[in-house]
Amino acid sequence: MADHKSLRPEGRSFEGPAGDGWRARPANHPRRLVIAITGATGAVYGVRLLEVLRALPNRQTAPVETHLVVSDAAVLTLHQETGLQRKQVEALADVVHKQNNIGAAIASGSFQCDGMVIAPCSMKTLAAVAHGLSDNLITRAADVMLKERRRLLLMVRETPFNLAHLRNMTAVTEMGGIIFPPLPSFYHQPQTIAEMVDHTVARVLDLFAIEHELAPRWAGM
């Protein structure tokens, strides 16, 4: 049998987000992350994720290129919850795609990236992903992540959940996606809402093996 290393295309990276397989992109290519913001409450998570990725201390040597899609409903939520306009949020990303541009680069499996985060993820978007509807660029890009076996993280926001919500989350999990409700933790004794948001965003970055100093790590009691 041929040595496993001989099967790897030259100049490619094989280290997945959590050591979980081959990521088919040139080793010298910047990491890419698709970020979608939908109309659910919790728009601050998507905004903060963009801010942190843009301000990474090693951005010059190890950049993470962000591709952003903001839904029409998210524009309303962003303004209500953060006071930000669409253009202000889009300015935080490296590349911006329109929700209805189904011909965008991220709609193709040939687009090389590390994965996708939907922050926050509405129940409508969750349902569309669970059933493979691909009815807009957000759900199409998510479908691409699943079919290409790339990391897909859905920060679902709703409470309480009904049976349809639970079944849709189960379906996405069975397809390889990660259901990530942005639930705050209190063991690090946060003093502000911003600290709670940062701790959640830090956990998201961990799942993509992106180094950060956003929040303290648990060292035991």
Residue 26 confidence (pLDDT): 57
pTM: 0.87
Residue 28 confidence (pLDDT): 63
Residue 63 confidence (pLDDT): 86
Work out the number of other CB atoms within 10 angstroms of the CB of residue 80.
10
Domains and CATH numbers, the chain: 26-207 (3.40.50.1950)
Distance CA 47, CA 207 (A): 18
The tens-digit pLDDT sequence of the chain (221 residues) is 344 333 333 444 433 443 343 344 555 677 999 999 999 999 999 999 999 999 987 776 678 999 999 999 999 999 999 999 999 999 999 999 999 999 999 999 999 999 999 999 999 999 999 999 999 999 999 999 999 999 999 999 999 999 999 999 999 999 999 999 999 999 989 999 999 999 999 999 999 999 888 988 888 88
Distance CA 1, CA 168 (A): 42
Residue 19 confidence (pLDDT): 36
Distance CA 196, CA 193 (A): 5
Two tokens, residue 22: 């081959």
Residue 213 confidence (pLDDT): 86
Strands 31-37 and 115-121: parallel
